[in-house]
Structure formats: structure tokens, C-alpha cells
Structure 1
Amino acid sequence: MGFVVLPALIPDITAVYDAYFAAFAEDPVTRALFPKATKEDLTNSESEFRKAHTGRVLSYWHTSSTQYTLKCIDPATGVIAGMALWDVYPTPSDWKKGDVAWLEGKERERAEALVGPLWNVREKLWDKERYIYCHVTAVRPEYQRKGVGKLLTEYGIRVAEQAELPIYVESSKEGLGLYEKLGFRRLTEKIVHKAGVLWVGEETGDKNDYEVPLLVWIPEGQIGNLPKSVELA
């Protein structure tokens, strides 16, 4: 029995973010955005942090008209094995950069140093454009390498084909191979996280700078309709 991808519903919020934090609790960007939350805070759905997070997500779902949350279910167990967030702009995007106002001092500086360049490049390439943004794809560790990420990405590709819209994604190193197999292409634009910012306070053997792979998927016959600011490598 195969996995099933469906739109997430309000009762799914906690389980969807169980999958998200199971995948990204130890990611350095997650640690920078939520520096006071322990791994237990992130992965325990009954923690005060997660309860507050669920409330914020619910509030956002009541106001957002562009972001769609997907769940990938294991029918054998009912477990949400993975999730994805897709921002869809069939009309010119009105997206604006956010902030990390919940942080202060050095913590805020570090978070802004990591997410600020991502926001700046997205604004530069896609301001007032029609496109789809693959905000995040997350798969629970025990379900990784079983096709869950592929199914979640293919769902977005089907929407892009139907709407004749390009997809933009900021990939991880782990996800790059999958995206390239599905026809995503690298951009010339580059974002590099400096090791001193990315790994500060983190126990990891990788102390190198990290280039974020930026990719685009283009519907057949639509390459000529890419924004002029978007250059393929």
C-alpha cells in the first residue's frame, strides 16, 4: 500500500509539525530561529513551545491566501510521514520579507544573517512575479529514502504544470539530487552561509561555508517566460 499525499486540514497541524520538527529539530537554521527551544521542546507536541507554535500556525492558516500545506500519509499506520509548504502565486506575488522580531541581540543577528539572504534573493528574483515557491519539504527520519519527498514534490509539479508556473526552491544538500532528478535546474544566483554564522554553538564536524543550491522547475514551453532576473546556470 503506497503513501498518499493530501492537503493538510486544521486537525492535522500538530501531526504535520511533528514531521517537520522530527526532520529539522537539529538543523542549524531551526536552531537559530528558535535558540531557546531544546530538541525536546521542538519534538514533543505537548511542550509549551509546540502548543504556542500550533496556535500561531492556526492563526496563520486563517489569514493566508497563498500558502498550502500538504501531508503525506502512511496508510498502514495513519502516520503523517512527511509534509510540505507551497506558496502559490497564480497572479503577481505580493509577498514581502518578514522579520524575526521574537529574537533580540546576538540571537536576532544570527537568525537575520541566515534567513535575510534567502529573503533578499527571493525578492530580487520573484517580486511581483507569477510562480510557486517550495517553502519546505520535510520527511520523518524513519520514512526518508522511501519516496515520500518525491511524492510531495511531484504534487507541486502537477500544480505548476496545470497553472503553467515555474517553481522556485532553496534546496538542502540532501534534497539536491531529488530535485535534479525531477527536472529542477540550478540558477547562477548564489547564497553562501558563512560557517561562523551557520554552525556557531552547534556540535558538528562540518565547519565549512555552505552554498545553498537555488533551483527552478520550468513547465514545458515556458522557459521564455521566466523573469529576466532568473538566470539558469
Structure 2
Amino acid sequence: MPLELHPLQESDVGVAYELMWETFKPDIMGLMYPDGINDAVREWSNSKSLASWRKDPERYKKNKVIDTDLPDDDPFNKIVGVADWEFFPKYRSKEEREKSNAESEKDGLPPLLNETMMKDFMGQSGQAKEEQLGGKPFVYLHILATHPKHHRKGVGAMHLRWGFEQAEKLGLPVYLESSPIGRPLYERNGFEIKGWLPFDGREYGGEKELPHALMLRPAKGEVEAK
């Protein structure tokens, strides 16, 4: 099981989205797309991701972990985990933050989406991020997804180690919102719970609550990931 971390390539974006769907389908993405996803959803999501990445490659960093022991015909091209990071190395004014948010929302919403759920969740997370950080510089771990068949192999820790090293170079904290399943990994690696998103999936057709922890790893923490 030799695991290797590499930068994600543009040609990997489609596979990365499929992996995220498999990872988060039982929880947040299953609520977002209660009827599942189709090619129109994939095209919308992948095009938006690529456009943002191409426009600001210093802000958006995407990585993958591959398992070189997997067969060449593996449906995920040997990718077992992906991570999306955003870097905000300088202070941003309220006007700058509002402009950035408006830019990200200009394309509207993808097809098949549970719009009420998405707007409520994103509204909560955006407000929490504003309250926790405002315009302060930080590194944001937007997505960390490990395929369910490859849990407990150190995939997540490899992604965290890379992010910690980058944050250390910049002297910045790392911030994220964690679902219940990911929280133990983050707590083992120096993240502190700063608050909660009291999100209840049952209000949107789900079977359980889905509270998300607002977690911060202070600047100048340990680089070692466990």
C-alpha cells in the first residue's frame, strides 16, 4: 500500500468529484442531492472548480493521494483521497471579502440541488467563518475526502501534513468545518473546536443531525500529522 501525495491535475478533476460523492454521499452531499447526481451536475461542478482554480492558482491548491498498488484499471485512477485548500496570506477588508463571496455566487446553483438546504448550510458556515476569522490571514481546508474503502490508512494525515507545512511557512492558522466522522482526525492533529454549526439534517429529509465543528489549528503548531 505505497501511498504518494501529488498535486491534483486538471485531468483528475472529474475523478476527484466522483470520489467526493462516494465519500460524502451518506452525509452532507446526500442532503445536497437527494435524487443523486447526473452528468449535468458533474459538468457544472467540475467547470466551476476548474474556472476558480485557473483564475487564482495561488489561492486554490488541490492535492491527491494515490495508492500505487491499485490496478491500472482502478475506476478512480488509483486516487484514494483528495484535498482542496484555500490560502489567504494577507488581511482582507470587509469589502474585499464581500466581493469575493459575490464572485463565487455569480454562477448560481447547480441542477438537482436541494437549494434550501444548501443556502442554509452555506449561510451558516459563511457567517461562522466571518465571526471566527473576519479578514485575518489563514489557510482554509475546504475539502478533505478519503474514499470509504481506504479509511484508516493514513490518507488524511498525508494531506494534513502537506497543509501544515505550507501554513508553517506562512505563519498562519488552519481553519475548517468538520463533520462528525472527520473530527477525531483533526483533534489528534492539533485542531481546537471553536464553535459549532448546529446543522440538523433531519430538517432537510435526512435521518440524523449533522452538527459541524468549527475547528482551528493555531499558527506555529507541530508539523507532524498523526
Q: Which amino acid aligns with 1:83?
A: V
Please give the alpha-carbon distance, in whole angstroms, between the structure 1 residues aligned to 2:108 and 2:11. 28
1:80-229 matched pairs, under 5 angstroms: 80-93=79-92, 94-95=96-97, 96-97=100-101, 98-99=104-105, 101-102=108-109, 107-187=114-194, 189-197=195-203, 200-202=204-206, 204=207, 206=208, 209-220=209-220
Q: Which amino acid aligns with 1:4?
A: E
Q: Which amino acid aligns with 1:70?
A: N
State the SS of the aligned residue for 2:198.
Answer: strand
Q: Could you tell me which of 60, 63, 67 is aligned with 2:60?
A: 67
Q: Which amino acid aligns with 2:205?
A: G
Tell me the CA shift for residue 53 of structure 1.
2.8
State the SS of the aligned residue for 1:129.
Answer: coil
Q: Could you tell me which of 29, 48, 51 is aligned with 1:56?
A: 48
Q: Which runs of 4+ in 1 moved over 6 A?
A: none
State the SS of the aligned residue for 2:140.
Answer: strand
Q: Which runs of 5+ in 1 are unaligned?
A: 42-46, 222-233
In structure 2, the residue matched to 1:225 is none
State the SS of the aligned residue for 1:120.
Answer: helix
In structure 2, the residue matched to 1:4 is 4
RMSD: 2.6
Pair 1:38 & 2:30 matched:
no
Distance 1:74 1:103, change over 3 A: closer
Please give the alpha-carbon distance, in whole angstroms, between the structure 2 residues aligned to 1:31 and 1:195. 10
Q: Deviations over 1:2-33 (max 9, x none)?
A: 21111111111112222211111232x32444
Q: Which amino acid aligns with 1:217?
A: R
Scaled by the length of structure 2, what TM-score is found? 0.80
Distance 1:196 1:38, change over 3 A: closer
Q: Which amino acid aligns with 1:84?
A: A
In structure 1, the residue matched to 2:16 is 16
Question: For the Cα contact (< 8 Å) 2:124–2:197, is it kept in 1?
Answer: yes
* Equivalenced residues, count: 206
Distance 1:12 1:196, change over 3 A: closer
Question: For the Cα contact (< 8 Å) 2:31–2:201, is it kept in 1?
Answer: no
Tell me the CA shift for residue 190 of structure 1.
2.7
Question: For the Cα contact (< 8 Å) 2:67–2:80, is it kept in 1?
Answer: yes
Please give the alpha-carbon distance, in whole angstroms, between the structure 1 residues aligned to 2:23 and 2:30. 13
Q: Which amino acid aligns with 2:61?
A: Y
Please give the alpha-carbon distance, in whole angstroms, between the structure 1 residues aligned to 2:141 and 2:150. 20
Greater shift, 171-180 or 88-97, is seen at 88-97
